[in-house]
Chains A and B, each alone.
Chain A
Amino acid sequence: MSSGSSAQVIRLHTGGAPGGDPAREADAGDADRDASVVELPTAPASESAADGADDPLGRLLTFLARRLTGDYAVDEFGFDPELTDTLILPPLKLLYDKWFRVAAVGGENLPVDGGALLVGNHSGVLPIDSIMTALAVRERHPQRRHLRMLGADLVFKAPVLGTLARKTGQTLACNPDAERLLRAGELVGVWPEGFKGVGKPFSARYKLQRFGRGGFASAAMRAGVPIIPVAVVGAEEIYPKIGDIKPLARLLGLPYFPVTPFFPLLGPLGAVPLPTKWTIEFGEPIPTDGYGPEAVDDPMSVFNLNDQVRESIQQMLYRRLARRRNIFSG
């Protein structure tokens, strides 16, 4: 192996400018070599965080090699955890940390194991709030669990987006899928306001829309898992939607075509979300195992649970909003 090739490897690995400090490069090279010498025998035994962090390039190459040979596992919903963790989540994590500076509170309300249904308020024209909630779960959960989200059929019909959604663990918002995931002990996220919530006008911010038909409540009751209300504060201001070009939306087959003070006026620049400060709060779990099997067939008890969840999210939102002094600094 020539030293030239090793220098090149290091440059990629540290992400530094080419032709940087040669001493530092040599150092890194040693570390790299050491790391691989130490790591090789232990790699199959355990994958501790310290080992993995040593050699991001090696991990990336292994990842690529596995992609080339198709040697990776997806679950029956199409969830590809390796792809999600390696390629999809890191850039989103930057958005989470640096742009929206998300503060996640109430992580102790997430169950350590077993299923739970997370129900949140939906807003922000684009469903960025769901993605950030998934990241918050992953950050705050001791086992770094993935949130499996339920999405509209529009998502799964769309090329690229639909596939990406499946690969990152999302599935169609329908009772069979939701119950299947919950019974398998997954954390499932749902935003029952749907498009009515994401596309609500700026004037209606933090006012919860109708909560669908209560399908999420019956799914949780059938699976006997708790419902965790989630309040997201900050997302409702990222795209202040002041208008809706309905004919254009119809033409493009979208539920709405938003007009904000900056979009479509400033073009792509106007599509940059405002850097609001976010708080994601996981509320106290609402148990559903107290309901008997007959309760699922009683629309009244389903609606009651539905209203109870909606009410608790609305209260959490009001509480958080009262505490917030500035949209951008929190």
Chain B
Amino acid sequence: MPPMPPSNVLVTGVAGDLGSRLLARLGNNPELDRVIGVDTSPPRPELLRRAGHAEFVRADIRNPLIAKIISSAKVDTVVHASTHAQPAGPTRRVAVKEVNVIGTMRLLAACQKSPLVRKLVVKSSAAVYGAGARSPAVFDEDTELGPTSPSGYAKDAVEMEGYVRGLMRRRPDITVTMGRFANIVGPDVDTVLTRYFALPVVPTVLGFDSRLQMLHSSDALAALEIATLEDRPGVYNVAADGVLTLGQAIRRAGRVELPLPRTALPSVGKVLRGARIVDFSADQVSLLNFGRVVDTTRLKNDFGYTPRWNTRDAFDDFLTGRGIRPVVDGERLAGVLTAVGRR
């Protein structure tokens, strides 16, 4: 039996950048009958205006209402894009965990209940792999997710993936695509990492220069759209090619690096959290400490998508798009140096 193309799509997390843009893309797709976006707050007005025939329902996925929407709208494809592995600002942790874990459980329960649901696309995070001195340099999808390595939001993502696997066991007829996304950057993206690089003075872990791998928001969107419209079951790492080290990224952004001993970072994190600037959680510190790179062979070969932006270009696009002016003008200093060299 050939896979039936999706006709009624439900997207969660449409208040976020990725979710709202996916809603707009799907809303302008004439092949789809109904496109319903769900979130606790509406998407940005300019995106809602461009959203075509997409509808927005203000609902909490933890609410039983979600099951009603799924059955009454005859939803056959559910895109779960509301998970936050990296919430941007300081939010109440308990609240985020509620949405991440309990919300996912509720949504999956509703999917399991509805016989019409044929496909589930889940946005997970590469943070599930954790980051540490004992981790391999590059993670592929078969890496075992140790229960101990991640903490905080990463742990939420691990638990969420566990529930998704549970659904796959109970409803083998549902096509499940799970993307483990690297840190998404782009002109409109607001995550902990983008806020971090917007700080004039960037705290880092003394004596460590971690490897960072990113993903441009347009590539993230394209991957989610392909997963929604076509059948690509499986778990895929979604990340850009190439690596920037933290120090390199800071210099490209023209920030001032402030290396602090590892033990001092939690208290700095608390100050930044308290000042409502950036949420600096434990798994964020371990990312800055050791870094994380994922293998994208499966994304390119099996899923069939090659990200158009590499990490460096994606990061530069984020810098220019956000209008982040360098605090330290490395270009100018470098220009002076090369001028001296020419003489």
The yes or no answer to B202 lying at the interface (CB within 8 A) is no
Residue of A nearest to B140 (CB): A176
CA distance A321 to B295 in the complex (A): 45
CA distance A73 to B244 in the complex (A): 8
CA distance A160 to B331 in the complex (A): 26
The yes or no answer to B170 lying at the interface (CB within 8 A) is no
Q: Which residues of B contact A171 (CB under 8 A)?
A: 136-137
Contact pick for A74, options B211, B331, B333, CB 8 Å: B211
Whether A177 lies near B137 (C-beta < 8 A) is yes
Whether A156 lies near B251 (C-beta < 8 A) is no
Whether B243 lies near A68 (C-beta < 8 A) is no
Whether B337 lies near A156 (C-beta < 8 A) is no
B55 to chain A, nearest CB (A): 42
Whether B209 lies near A157 (C-beta < 8 A) is no
CA distance A236 to B160 in the complex (A): 52
Contact pick for A65, options B206, B295, B338, CB 8 Å: B338
Contact pick for B251, options A67, A76, A162, CB 8 Å: A67
A327 to chain B, nearest CB (A): 36
B310 to chain A, nearest CB (A): 10
Interface stretch (choices A19-27, A54-62, A106-114): A54-62
Residue of A nearest to B252 (CB): A70
Q: Interface digits, A33-45 against B, CB 8 Å rule (1 contact, 0 not)?
A: 0001000100000
The yes or no answer to A174 lying at the interface (CB within 8 A) is yes
Q: Which residues of B contact A9 (CB under 8 A)?
A: 340, 343
B292 to chain A, nearest CB (A): 10
Whether B133 lies near A153 (C-beta < 8 A) is yes
Q: Which of B284-343 contact A (CB under 8 A)?
A: 290-291, 293, 295, 330-331, 333-335, 337-338, 340-343
The yes or no answer to A209 lying at the interface (CB within 8 A) is no
Q: Which residues of A contact B206 (CB under 8 A)?
A: 159
A contact residues, range: 35 or more
Whether B207 lies near A65 (C-beta < 8 A) is no
Q: Which residues of A contact B211 (CB under 8 A)?
A: 74, 76-78, 166
Q: Interface digits, B240-284 against A, CB 8 Å rule (1 contact, 0 not)?
A: 001111011111100000000010000000000000000000000
Most buried by B among A57, A70, A163: A70
CA distance A158 to B208 in the complex (A): 9
With A58-B341, A172-B134, A176-B138 as known contacts, state yes or no: A70 contacts B249, CB within 8 Å.
yes
The yes or no answer to A88 lying at the interface (CB within 8 A) is no
Whether A180 lies near B138 (C-beta < 8 A) is yes
The yes or no answer to A298 lying at the interface (CB within 8 A) is no
CA distance A161 to B342 in the complex (A): 35
The yes or no answer to A6 lying at the interface (CB within 8 A) is yes
Whether B341 lies near A57 (C-beta < 8 A) is yes
CA distance A157 to B134 in the complex (A): 8
The yes or no answer to B148 lying at the interface (CB within 8 A) is no
A30 to chain B, nearest CB (A): 13
The yes or no answer to A294 lying at the interface (CB within 8 A) is no
With A61-B337, A61-B338 as known contacts, state yes or no: A70 contacts B207, CB within 8 Å.
no
The yes or no answer to A5 lying at the interface (CB within 8 A) is yes
Q: Which residues of A contact B262 (CB under 8 A)?
A: 159
Q: Interface digits, B134-167 against A, CB 8 Å rule (1 contact, 0 not)?
A: 1111101001000000000000000000000000
CA distance A96 to B107 in the complex (A): 63
CA distance A73 to B243 in the complex (A): 8
Whether B243 lies near A62 (C-beta < 8 A) is no
Q: Which residues of A contact B247 (CB under 8 A)?
A: 70
With A78-B245, A159-B206, A176-B140 as known contacts, state yes or no: A66 contacts B134, CB within 8 Å.
no
A328 to chain B, nearest CB (A): 36
Closest 3 CB pairs of A and B: A159-B207, A65-B334, A70-B251
State the A residues within 8 Å of B (CB): 1, 5-6, 9, 36, 40, 55, 57-58, 61-62, 64-78, 80, 153, 156-163, 166-167, 171-172, 174, 176-177, 180
Q: A166-B209, A180-B136 are in contact. List 12 more A-B contacts (CB 8 A).
A: A55-B341, A61-B340, A61-B341, A64-B337, A65-B338, A68-B334, A71-B334, A76-B137, A162-B133, A162-B208, A171-B137, A177-B136
14 of the cross-chain contacts (CB-CB < 8 Å) are: A1-B343, A61-B337, A62-B337, A66-B334, A69-B251, A70-B249, A72-B248, A74-B211, A74-B243, A75-B243, A76-B138, A80-B245, A159-B206, A180-B138
